[in-house]
Amino acid sequence: MDNSKFHCWPSNASSILTSTLAQHGYNCKGVHIDWIKPPPKQVTQDIPFNISYSIDLLPEFFDWAIYELPKPLYTLSNRTMNNSQSWYNWCHTHESTYDISDPKIESDTCLWHINIHACEIGSSIPYCGPWIPPNGQIYHSTVMAGRAGRIYESTVVVPVFGIVEIIAHFKVGIADWIHIALVSSNIQVSRKAICGDKFCDIKYENCSNCPLDCGKCPLKPIHIGLITGTCVLFLSSLIGIGLYFKIQEQRLLWDPSWIIDVKEVQPLRSQQSNSLTSINDPQKTNFTKRQTSETNLSITTNISTISCVQQIFCPAGNLRHTCVAIRKYKHKHFQLTRRIREQVRLVRTLNHNNICKFMGASLSPNEVIIYMEYMPKGSLRDVLQNEKIPITWPFRFSFAMDILNGLSYIHSRHIIHGRLNSSNCVVDQRLTIKITDYGLENLRLTTLNTNSYVQSAEAYKRVYYAPELISIHELKLTPSIDIYSFGIILNEIATRSEPFGDDDIESIMKIDYRPKIALMTHDVNNETEEDFCPLPSSYTRLIKRCIMENPFDRPTCKDIQKSLKKMCPLQMSPIDLIFKKMSIYQTSLEQAVQLRTYELEQEKHKSENLLYSMLPKIVAEQLRIGQIVTAEYYDTCTIYFSDIVGFTDIASRCKPIDVVEFLNRVYTTFDTIIDRYDVYKVETIGDAYMVVSGVPKKNGNEHAYQIATMALELIRQTASHCLIPYSQDEKLRIRVGLHSGPVCAGVVGSKMPRYCLFGDTVNTASRMESNSEANRIHMTKDTKELLDKTGRFLIEKRGTMPIKGKGDMTTYWLLEELESKNDFIEKNLLYVQPIRLPPIHKKDLSSSYLIPNSTNIFVPNRSPSPRKTTTFNLIALE
């Protein structure tokens, strides 16, 4: 029974539905299965024997299973498993955690059913296929599950005797599934005999299956000869293979001038990826982001005067002081043949202004590296799509003529490009178009003129291929194929956009797809109108002729040259055209420099503002220039601490997001207010707010005044403008504490550095805040004395009270700021503590009692006249 044609079955296969996937037109791709330890040619009935086998699913299997089958085996809707490569990696690494009897095993492992089938030949079963149930005449081994790319071993027991076929059976797939089978040659199953009973049953036993009864089988002369011949052949093969590789190595190392040692090429890396002198457009379409080996020579375009050493647009290197573009091609086993030498000799003789020079190649058994002349300005495609470069029609005609001249030259040397598109038309230093990636078919690809080459190309490049190149599998390349590609480039030059326009990938991939031709309706025959095509109708007719379905109807290079010369609006010499190109380029370059300079200044300003909001400006400048910020001691400063009264209750009654928004509004109000004072905001921790004056900028004794006026304004603003989130009537209240004294300040940490204050002054200010009351400013005697010197504040003595960690301290309330020193004297007298006088007897009524330690109390005169003082004798009656 030959089951080789039944390699893969669909999931619904049965004894009735015996059609394979191949019979449905879906050849099973990328499946590599093999016997590691194949079934023996002869076994005994009911005697177990072990066999091992392997299965590997190559990447092309997943492309076939996902994109070619009508019912994909794998889904792409999963967020992480969204392409064939991810399924390939999963299938080769993931081991299932479920038991083989659990139905979930089908979606949790790659190969969820692995076992061995044994079928008796000659029974009523037509095929030993996977659709026969286990209770039929097929004998199953234990079912296993696992990943691809490994070896599996099964123990097989055949309960029947005769000729039996062994099949390794696999079930693969998640969304849908298929059967895969590995078929062995037929084996002979001998009837079970009792070996070791000292009797050789001639019918069922012999020297091979029962040497105990029948003795050892003698070695036949033919076997001896075969063994000897095999050994000799094996040794000869080893010697021959060694000599073959030695000869190949010598041939590869043979040193003609074009073969280059890869060590001679020094790879170049871009030193300025985003140059200020570049006018590259950052906006790219989805197709331009896809890069394959076909577009390595022109990944992006930057029209600038920087050398190739500074800007690299494709893999490049330095070969003997010359910048070269590097193209790498993988080969299974490369051989330097006479045909390749002839192709290289032909390419080396080419010399034209509009083609890139072939610089050499590095050869190795598995890889070929081709070095071409490097063009530092990028490709025509990117130049056309860069809207920042104004390209007039004389400029465009120059591009078209350059490409046509290069095509005409290589055609005259019997070279067909076959891959022509706007990406391999590159721009040199003088803004001249040069064709690259031509010739050397055997170095680049083994069969350029096959449909497989077209299928593997990028979707957008299919637009450039002639219909016959896509539809015909084996086709001899002709110049008309390049003419079709040139017609698409002409259309691209006219529209300055992608040749496929707004068409999607599905439309482009169709065999009968044709791009839309540009519509140019302005017939302006005026030499000054350089922004319009002078003869649009003639230009459109030329495009249509170039992309005709019948290759024999397409014009030749000479015909196209004549047509373009008739349409060229200005008959300019090449030198004049180059100067005009450079003038356009200079103007656009200057505009780009101005724009980039402005953007740089804006970004620098934003970054500086962000830095200055995190650290003091003086400290930030030191860190920015790389200096080490040392801690500094300050003799005196004033520190402000405040927190929100009842913040714990507020936070418990609000959502977290409401608490964050509430604190943001409060602190934004605070930040706006403190900007008007000579203070520095140190930090906010939860509902705590810390401000200092006199650090890092010293201001003498002015710091106490700045902090005091700021604290008064903060209380006024919060009491009048800030509301509690859950109540529109309840106003925000804060506690404030002030203290003046020495501190030490410096930057702490290297990652997210912070400017911190250290010293007992910080702790004391914090204690003043924690012992304060709602909407009141609590301060120490040190701060009170500094404020008294200003004569501008109304202060009330709170008294002596215990302060945690400080002992008893005399503290004060800051009430308000006065307009003048006279108001200071007047209002402070109202807050003098009452004085208890000793009793006075009637006999002493004539005597005057004065306040102890003072002879007079000075009370300001309330009249508008200049202030005078009046002396009173205070008498306390008994």
Residue segments in the chain with a per-residue pLDDT below the cut of 70: 1-6, 79, 122-127, 129-136, 193, 197, 203-204, 248-255, 269-313, 445-460, 472-474, 521-531, 569-578, 581, 726-728, 820-878
- In this predicted structure, what is the pLDDT of residue 473? 64
CA 397 to chain centre: 39
Cβ atoms 582, 519 nearer than 8 A = no
- In this predicted structure, what is the pLDDT of residue 270? 55
- In this predicted structure, what is the pLDDT of residue 779? 94
Cα–Cα distance, 8 to 182 (Å, whole number): 10
pTM: 0.39
602 SS3 class:
helix
Cα–Cα distance, 389 to 591 (Å, whole number): 10
Residues 6+ apart with CB under 8 A from 827: 794, 818
Residues in the chain: 878
Cα–Cα distance, 255 to 258 (Å, whole number): 8
- In this predicted structure, what is the pLDDT of residue 447? 42
Cα–Cα distance, 596 to 383 (Å, whole number): 19
- In this predicted structure, what is the pLDDT of residue 877? 29
Q: Tell which residue, 497, 514, 506, 518, has the closest CA to residue 285.
A: 497
* Tokens of residue 636, six digits: 């005196």
Task: Give CA separation, 837 vs 852, 876, 878, in Å.
Answer: 9, 6, 10
Cα–Cα distance, 417 to 478 (Å, whole number): 9
Cα–Cα distance, 166 to 119 (Å, whole number): 7
Burial class of residue 92, CB neighbours in 10 A (0-12, 13-18, 19+): middle
CB atoms within 10 A of CB 871: 10
- Region for residue 646 given its phi and psi (left: phi exceeds 0; alpha: psi -120 to 50; beta: otherwise): left
* Tokens of residue 591, six digits: 């505009």
Residue 110 main-chain phi, psi, to 5 deg:
-75, -60
Cα–Cα distance, 407 to 386 (Å, whole number): 25
Q: H helices of 15-162, where?
A: 59-63, 84-93
Burial class of residue 20, CB neighbours in 10 A (0-12, 13-18, 19+): buried
- In this predicted structure, what is the pLDDT of residue 585? 78
Cβ atoms 499, 491 nearer than 8 A = yes
- In this predicted structure, what is the pLDDT of residue 653? 83
Quote the strand ranges of 161-274, DSSP E.
162-172, 178-183, 187-190, 265-267
> Which string of DSSP letters, residue by residue, matches 461-519?
GGGGS-HHHHH-SB----HHHHHHHHHHHHHHHHHTS-TTTT--HHHHTSTT--PPPP-
- In this predicted structure, what is the pLDDT of residue 711? 92
Cβ atoms 97, 145 nearer than 8 A = no
Cα–Cα distance, 252 to 263 (Å, whole number): 15
CB atoms within 10 A of CB 231: 10
